[in-house]
Structure formats: structure tokens, C-alpha cells
Amino acid sequence: MPLSVAVAGASGYAGGELLRLLAAHPDLELTTVTAHSNAGQLLGDVQPHLRSLAGLRLAETTPETLAGADVVFLALPHGQSGAVTAQLPDDVVVVDCGADHRLADPAAWQRFYGGDFFGAWDYGLPELLIDGGSGKQRRNLAGSTRIAAPGCNASAVTLALAPALAAGAVASQDLVAVLAVGTSGAGKSVKPHLLASEIAGSAAPYGVGGTHRHIPEIQQNLVAAGATGPTLSFTPVLVPMSRGILATATASLAPGVSARDVRDAYESAYGGEPFVQLLPDGAFPRSGDTTGANTALIGIAVDEAANRLVAICAIDNLVKGTAGAAIQSLNIALGLEETTALPVNGVAP
């Protein structure tokens, strides 16, 4: 018998992507959808592309409404999940797609987010190398009832750099990441800088100078992979595409490390992974290659002149970056096949 599922924040981009993927999940039945300003409306009026779910009506987001489900997904702005999750029963499996339960360090939360600190849950990036590279995060997700889905930018940069750091192939300091990011990462609320006339034909950096909220999450992940005191220069750039991330990360090579050593590290880390795929020598991903899929595609090179690793990772920010990672982690937690309902083939053109 399928488990019942509730999705809070179902009217947003992340919530809509959760619904799209959950609609094809054979072991889960979507029974409750909630929203804030759109409460009372039919889902089909708010998410018209979700035809099979169009007749569901959005309810108010309250703990009481959500508590009746076996599984609850929260796709709410940061600072809004914690108050809800604190009132959900312990026997409900909860997956938070927001930031409220990602960080283990209260000081980092206060610096980058502020407000109440709700504590860290099991981190929902199964392929994350942990214990200095000797294990992977999926082992901590088995049987979990509280899961924090990762940030989309954090996933891309983490997956790009973690194998090299775990292998000691690069230095932990002077890590640099520049990302091209689609506009859906900023949410569905109307914002002047996201209007078509503002973003079309233009690229705009944001969160510059060490201020982006995903920085401490990336550093936390890289420490788990084996980095020591990692320093990261992180610059996302908003580009005129609706979804997708292309992260270019570089790091200084450790003495005596060859290009073959680097590739061996990535092949060892990701060989056999269903969703994280290392491309052949000389091949690099495009963001569009992952549109609609739960894949992370990675290309690597060694810049001999600069003595730096260059790792390029492409993901769909709404799938592998958010909803797909959430469902993948839930599958593991419930003991289901990890790949259930998650596509590896993208959509093109």
C-alpha cells in the first residue's frame, strides 16, 4: 500500500518539481498539498503543467494539515520550516527542501541566515564523501526520519571538488567556484531583477564577496570529505535560463599530483553511481544536458600552467539540486530502490 505524502509550498518552483516527480512514484501517493497565498486554489490553476494532479486543492500550511501524512516534504523559504517541523509527529518522515536543517554550526547559521537555529538533520546528498572519503552519506540516510535536502549551488560545487579533496590531490585553501545559475533558483515570487526585460540578454552576479548563504554548507560538506579548514571564493552569476547550474570550480594541485591521479580519484568516487557521472577526458557538460534529470555531469581537467584542477559540474537546480535529491534521499530512508521515479535522461532541446 502506498505511503501518503504531503507537500508544503506546493505552489512554488521547488514544490512543483517535487509534485512532478512524485506523480510517477509507485510507492507514494500524493494526498495533501499546501500553500500560503495560494491556499484555497486548485493546484491546476497554480501549476497548470501538472495535469494528473490538477484537481487537488491547496490547503493552508499548518502542522495539523501535514501531520496526517506518512511523509512530508517542505518546500518553504528559509526560516519557515523549523517552526512547522517542530510540531510534526516523530513517526512522520520529514524532508526539508529549505535551509533550516542543513547547517550543524549555530554560528554559521547566525552569520549567513540569522533567526532561530533549528539544528542539523541527516544531509540529503547521498553521493557526498564523508569520513575523509572512506564512506558516503547514503549510509546515514538509511532509516532516517528527518532529512535536510541540500542547496542546489552547494550540491554542484561539493560534487565538483569533494573527490579531489578526499584523495589529497588538491589543497583545501584557495578553492574558487564560479557558477552560472538559472533564474528559478531565486524562487517564484515576483522580483524586478528577474523580469524578462531585465534578465534577457544579460548576466548578473549576486552574493559576491563571501556573502552567499551556500558557502558554509559547501565548507561543511568539504570538511566531511576530508578538507582541512577550506577557504572558498564563491561567485554565482544569474544567467537568462529558467533552470540549470554550471559550476566551474578550481583548486591548487598538491605537489606531485598528476592528471591521472586526479581522474583516478573521481573514477573511484563516482564509479557505479547512478546519478553522478564523470565524463571522458576532454569532455565537459552543458547545463542543458541535465534539464529535467536527476543527473550531475562532471568534466575535469588539469591546467598545467596554473597548476590547478578545473572541475565543471552541471545539474538541474530543481531536480538534482532540490526535488530529485530529496526524493532520492527519501527512497534510501524508506529502503526503496534509490533510483525510483528519478529520471537520468534530460529534455532537449
> Which positions are annotated as active-site residues?
152
Residue 218, amino acid: I
CA distance 148 to 57: 26
In the numeric block, the cell 517542505 is attached to: 74
User: In Å, how far are 29, 234, 275, 327 from 340, measured between CA atoms?
Assistant: 14, 33, 12, 8
b/e sequence 179-190, b meaning 16+ C-beta within 10 Å: bbbbbbbeeeee
Please answer whether residues 161 and 175 qualify as being in contact, where contact means their C-beta atoms are separated by less than 8 angstroms.
Answer: yes
Dmax (CA) of the chain: 63
* Number of residues in the chain: 349
Residues paired with 234 in a beta bridge: 177
Cell of 87: 510540531
Angle formed by the axes of helices 13-22 and 324-334, nearest 10° = 50
User: In Å, how far are 17, 22, 277, 313 from 187, measured between CA atoms?
Assistant: 12, 20, 28, 22
